[in-house]
Every structure is written in structure tokens, then in C-alpha cells.
A and B are shown apart, each in its own frame.
Chain A
Amino acid sequence: MSPAQPRTRPAAHLGPARAPLPEPAPRPPRAGPHPLVPPVAAASGGGEAISAEGLTRRFGDKVALAGVDLRVPAGSVLGLLGPNGAGKTTTVRILTTLLRPDGGRARVAGYDVVGEPSAVRARIGLSGQYAAVDERLTARENLYLVARLYGMGRRTARAHTAGLLERFALGEAADRPSGGFSGGMRRRLDLAGALAARPEVVFLDEPTTGLDPRGRNDTWEAVQELVAQGTTVLLTTQYLEEADALADTISVIDHGRVIARGTAPELKAAVGGERITLTVTDPAARGRACEALAALGPHRPALDPRTGSVTVATEHGTDALRTALESLAAERVDVRDVALAPPTLDDVFLTLTGGASGASPGAGSTPGAAAPAAPAPGAGPSAAGPSAARPSGSGPSEGGRRRVFSRRRGTERARKGGAHAWRP
């Protein structure tokens, strides 16, 4: 397996997207990376705590990793975001020397994970799905065990253990067997173990999966504290808000490939500036509302058939909102509630993984899904306000095509129902 695979991806950067993204027309058969993926510069090692190039790994017939590239500058937090089975844990296991890659190279804390695994292990901490605490040992014994196995002498290990117990609020439970701990306490103990030797790089594999909100908050605080001290962190998560809250940069991984990377705002900008979501009072008027909104800009409105709310992306913020409301008023469509909000990482994720592609016209992943009860094409555009952004390519003639309804995005929005808020 040659470590350096030819990279054909364009160097598209994640600037604030003012134009619709060049979307890979009907969902490519995963031949090349998404254009959102900027090329990874050759790993220099300087200032990089983690660098991985073209990591591949298969389990039998199943390709777990199809060429993962990662770069994590020292002292930063990378969020590895992806659904179950995307390859997050496999990536972590390779980077923590638990698994050999079939191909590609990776360096952690300056050492090659395949060639110098012991040096890597001495400098990393691992916590999460695949780490564990010994249920029959107390919290103190668990931490002492790990500290000793990192090579510390008895006295140093004892001192470290006491410090960690305090720092992770385990002091009271220190001498109880950890088998009786709550999920949150157990995870804290596991995390404390990962930090026992003050590692340079910490890997947290789904650190909050299965935790209640309080446990999650505790874990978040611990991670933030860690970062404040300059530790490099790679965390995997399925929770978009977790990546948003904790990570400096995010790599979105799907089917064993990094399909996008950037900061949370960059990723959000990449799929379109903001989202207008509104609910019309009269269900019969939904079609007209969609028409009116479609006329405003390049983005297709999406109707959630369940809640009846209509969502459309825009790059013009409150101007677009004002225009939208004016044009709806002109159409005599009564609006019950309305919100303007930046895209969530859910939007990003669903867009990137093909769940929906409402951000760009003409690249519908559900072509042919026409609006129910839609009025005749061409009825809406006349009402469009002058400030509505409309690239030449999306004139009235395409009106029919724009009425593409995305069920997935719709339900996703509905699930998050409470996120409606006005933004100044």
C-alpha cells in the first residue's frame, strides 16, 4: 500500500461562502474526496501533535478507513465527527497504536505509530469506548495502577493519584470500588487515568456517549481544562454540538474518509450562510410560501411535511428575512412563527453526507419530488423583492425544479424544534 496516494482534490478553501458550493453532482460513488476537503500539506512534524496521511484499514471485506488524512497542531482540539461506523474509532485505535494501519503513515507527538509505538504510548492518554476501569478496584487503585504502569515510582504515583482524584472530583468516592460508580463518575475516572502521566496528546473516543447531561457537562469541563493547559486533544463524537463546543477544528468523517474539515463557522459557512425557518398558519398556503421563498435566491426552500415548517438558506441575513416576510405578505400568506439562525452542524453534516442538499440549486438529491399542491410555476417570482439574490441561472424557468422537498432535513429541524431565535 503506497502511503502517498495521489491527491486530485481541488484546493477549495472554506471561506465564507457567498456563492453556492460546487456540489458533487448526484452523490458521487466516493471516488474522490469532497471538494470541501483542502489538501493536507506534507506533514512537517513541526508544531504538529498528530499528523496522519492516507491511513487505510480493512477488516476482511469491509473497508474501515479509505485514506484518512489528519493534522492537529500542538495545543489544539480536533473534533472527529461522524456517524456510527464512519471510521472514528478505527482512526483512534491506529493513532494510539492499538491497531496497525494497512497503509498510510501517522505520527503522534513526533513519533511514528507503527515504527515507534512505545515512544508514542509514553506520550499519549486514551479514554473512551475502548478504555476501561477495573470495576473491582477503587478509584484510587485504578489511578495508581495506571500511573505505575506509565513508569512512575511508588511515591510519585501516589502523589499523582491524589491530585487526579481531587481534580476530577472523585475524592469522596476515592476508596470505593469503581464498579458502583455512576456512568459519569466512571467516565471521569477513565479520563483521569488517561491523564495520569500528563500526556502531550489525549485521545477521547466518544467521551460523552451514554452520559446524562450532567455527566456530559462534567466531561466537557474536564476537556476544556485540559485544553487550557495546552494539551492536544483529538476527540471523536457523533454529537455535533459537542464538536462545536469543544473543538478548534472539525474533520467530518464518513465511510472511512474525511469529507470535510474546517472550523465550525467555516463548515457552517460552507453550506450556506443562514437559515430562515418559518411556519405558515394555513397549511394550504405552504405551497405558495415555498414559491415565494424560492424566488428569493438560489437556495431551494425545504418543507417539512410533518410540522409544516419551511426552511430556506440565505446569505443575506436580516435583509433576506425582511424580503421574505414582505414577499409572503404580498402573497397573503400568514406566518405563525419565523426564525433566522446560522446553520447548525446538523445542517453541515446532513449536507455533506448526502442527507440533503438544499444549499445549492440544481443538485437535488431527490429530483422529481414535486411540491404537493403547488401552484402553477411562475406564479411566485413576480413577488420577489429587488434585494433577493438571484444568480442568472435560477430564473423563473427553474421554478419547478427548485421545489424539492427534503424530508430528512425537515425532520432533523423538527427534532431540534426549540432552536428558533431571532438574531440581530
Chain B
Amino acid sequence: MAALSPAAAPAAGPARTVRDGMIIAWRNLLNLRRTPGSVIAALIQPLMFVLLLAYVFGGSLGGDGYRSFLMGGIFAQAVTFNASFTAIGLASDMDKGMVDRFRALPMPRGSVILGRTLSDLAMSAVTLTVTSLCGLLVGWRVEGTALDAVRGYLLVLVFAFAMSWVGATVGLVARSVEVAQSAGLVWLFPITFVSSAFVSVTSMPGPLRVVAEWNPVSATATAARSLFGNDAPAAVAPPQSWPVEHATGYALLCALGVIAVFMPIAVGRYRRIARG
């Protein structure tokens, strides 16, 4: 019997990687749809942060003004936390032998990870929608133009995609779900809290303040706030600095930089696992 020739799609190259990545993403999303519990659990976390920060800390940090300020930080934090799904998802595929199944198929090496980061990007879009609705409930509003708001969401999604590649690297290094679960979480707290996402960096000690100022999470939060037209109340207003003045550009640069660094690391790691 004649083998079916490697068929419709080109055998390799970026086009095939994207095509196969989309197919894997479709499969991942089907998985998510069949496990609504995990999706709901994933959505509860940012909602909890909104409510905790808005009402536990918000009162002493500026009340209504703070709640409006808060949401930019919540968006940046929520999509950063979604990187742990990428880590767990990839580790679980390896655990269950799905990666072996994929590796024996004539598909480009990068597409399994690309598929995972794409489906997690979709998940981040859902997260943003739900947290935005919650934000509206606590008093947050888009105060700028609609176009800027769209830009704000797009910027946060680009950042989400970038962080997903960090998560992919963690998952591929961890190789087991248990390790990915803990390793995928520990780095998320410092990276999201040593930032200006929720407070001003002014009160932080010297070195921490520098880190927080240049933290991509800070940049993304600040850029989102400015694109949504949310002014910072005096108590939490960031001191002027280069990353604050060029928040949007710097945030975008950070996202692209993270992708440029972690994409090859993740794919290389996958390849090394693939080689056995």
C-alpha cells in the first residue's frame, strides 16, 4: 500500500509549525472545555485578588481611586499567573505519554509548545474578560478611548504570550506535573509583587525598588493603566523614571525580549528531551 504522501501541508518550516501549533491548541482547548472545573478554579484566583486588594488594602490605599488603579496591575498579574498552566499542561502531556505520541508524528518540534502557549493565550483572553467584568463591579472604568483600550488589552495579551514561554520552559525542565505545579508557582509571587502592580515602588528598599521599577510586570501594569486612562491616586503614583515614562514601549520590548530568550530555550529543551 502506498504511503500517504506527507500530504497537504508542507513537511517543515514556520508555516507548518504554526499550522500544527493551531491543531495542538485546538486539542488543548477541547481538553479545557471538558474540564470546566479547572477553568473555573483558574478564574477564581484573579477574582480573589481583585476583591482582596480592592477591599482589604484598597481602603487604606486610596479607596475608589485605588480600585480603579488596581485593575491594570491585576491584568498583568493574572496573565503572569497563567504561565503556570503552560508549565503544568506541558508536564502533564509528558507524564501521560502524549508528547511521545506527538514526537513520533511528522510534526515540527516547536509546534507542541506553540500549541500550548496559544491555547493558554486563549485562556488568558478569558481571564481578562472575567477580571474586567469583576473590575467593572468594583468601580473600575475604561476612561480613555476605545482604541487605546483595545491597545491595552492587546499589550497585556502579548505579555501573557511571553510569560507563557517562561512557563513552558519551567514545565519542560520540571518534566513531572508535581514539580511543575510547585516550580510553576514559586517564581510568580516575587515577580508579580516586587513590582508597581499594586503599590508604589517608593516605599521599597533600594535594590528592590530598582528591580520593581524595571520589572516587566510593572511596565505592563503601568502601560495598561495609561491605555485604559486610569490615573494613579497620589498614594500609589509611581515616581517618574524611564520605564514609567516609556511604559508601553518598554512593556512591549520586555515581552518581545522574553519571547526571544525563552522560545529557543524551551524548544531546545524539548528537542533535548526528544532526543532521549
- Asked if A121 is at the interface (CB within 8 A of a chain B CB), the reply is yes
A245 interfacial by beta-carbon distance below 8 Å: no
Given A132-B97, A231-B1, A97 and B7 touching (CB < 8 A)? no
Given A123-B3, A149-B20, is A136 in contact with B276 using a C-beta cutoff of 8 Å?
no
Query: CB distance A118 to B11 under 8 Å?
Result: yes
Q: Does A334 contact B (CB under 8 A)?
A: no
CB distance from A230 to the nearest CB of B (A): 5
Cα distance, A124 to B275, chains bound together (Å) = 18
User: Within 8 Å CB of B35, what residues of A?
Assistant: 136
Interface: A310 (CB within 8 A): no
Chain B residue with Cβ nearest A133: B101
| Residues of B contacting A118 in the complex (Cβ-Cβ under 8 angstroms) | 11-12, 106
Q: Which of B8, B24, B26, B274 contacts A151 (CB 8 A)?
A: B8
What is the minimal beta-carbon distance from B116 to any residue of chain A, in angstroms?
Answer: 13
**Shortest beta-carbon distance from A127 to chain B in Å:** 9
In chain A between 118 and 141, which residues have their CB closer than 8 angstroms to a CB of chain B? 118, 121-124, 126, 130-132, 134-137, 141
Main secondary structure of the interface of A (DSSP, over half): loop
**Nearest neighbor of B95 in chain A, beta-carbon distance:** A132
Asked if A197 CB lies within 8 Å of chain B CBs, one says yes
Q: Is A20 an interface residue (CB 8 A)?
A: no
Per the CB 8 Å criterion, the residue count for chain B at the interface is 33
| Residue B149 interfacial (CB < 8 Å) | no
Binary per-residue interface labels of chain B (105-128) against chain A in the complex, 1 for a CB within 8 Å, 0 otherwise: 111000000000000000000000
Q: What residues of chain A lie closer than 8 Å to B103, measured between beta carbons?
A: 97-98
Contact indicator B104/A121 (Cβ below 8 Å): yes
Interface centre among B4, B7, B11, B26 (most CB of A within 10 A): B4
State which of B3, B31, B107, B276 has its C-beta within 8 Å of the C-beta of A93. Answer: B276
What residues on B are CB-neighbors of A124 within 8 Å?
104
Question: Is B101 within 8 A of A131, CB to CB?
Answer: yes
A156 within 8 Å of B by Cβ? yes
User: Does the CB pair A149–B8 fall under 8 Å?
Assistant: no
B7 CB contacts on chain A under 8 angstroms: 150-153, 156, 197
Given the known interface contacts A98-B100, A132-B98, A149-B105, the answer about A141 and B30 at a Cβ–Cβ threshold of 8 Å is yes
The residue of chain B having its C-beta at the shortest distance from the C-beta of A109 within the complex is B3
A96 at the interface (CB under 8 A from B): yes
A407–chain B nearest beta-carbon distance, Å: 39
A200 to B6, CA, bound (A): 12
Find the B residue at minimum CB distance from A94: B276
Nearest-neighbor residue (CB-CB) of B33 within chain A: A136
| Candidate in A96, A136, A198, A229 with the most chain B CB atoms within 10 angstroms | A136
Interface centre among B1, B11, B20, B274 (most CB of A within 10 A): B1
CB pair B101–A137 under 8 Å, yes or no, is no
- Chain A residues lying within 8 Å of B23, measured Cβ to Cβ, are 145, 148-149
CA distance A100 to B20 in the complex (A): 24
> A154's closest neighbor in chain B, by CB?
B8
Q: From A93, A134, A146, A153, give the contact of B105 (CB < 8 A).
A: A146
Given contacts A149-B107, A151-B11, A153-B8, whether A131 and B100 have CB atoms under 8 Å apart is yes
- A98 CA / B11 CA spacing, docked (Å): 18
Contact of A177 with B by CB under 8 A = yes
Interface string of A179-220 (1 = CB under 8 A from B): 000000000000001000111100000000000000000000
Contacts of B1-54 to chain A: CB distance below 8 A: 1-4, 6-9, 11-12, 20, 23-24, 26-27, 30-31, 34-35
Hey, which bits of chain A sit against chain B, CB under 8 A?
93, 96-100, 109, 118, 121-124, 126, 130-132, 134-137, 141, 145-146, 148-153, 156, 177, 193, 197-200, 229-231
Ordered nearest first, which 4 A-B pairs have the shortest CB separation? A132-B97, A99-B276, A151-B7, A122-B106
Residues of B within 8 A of A (CB): 1-4, 6-9, 11-12, 20, 23-24, 26-27, 30-31, 34-35, 96-98, 100-107, 274-276
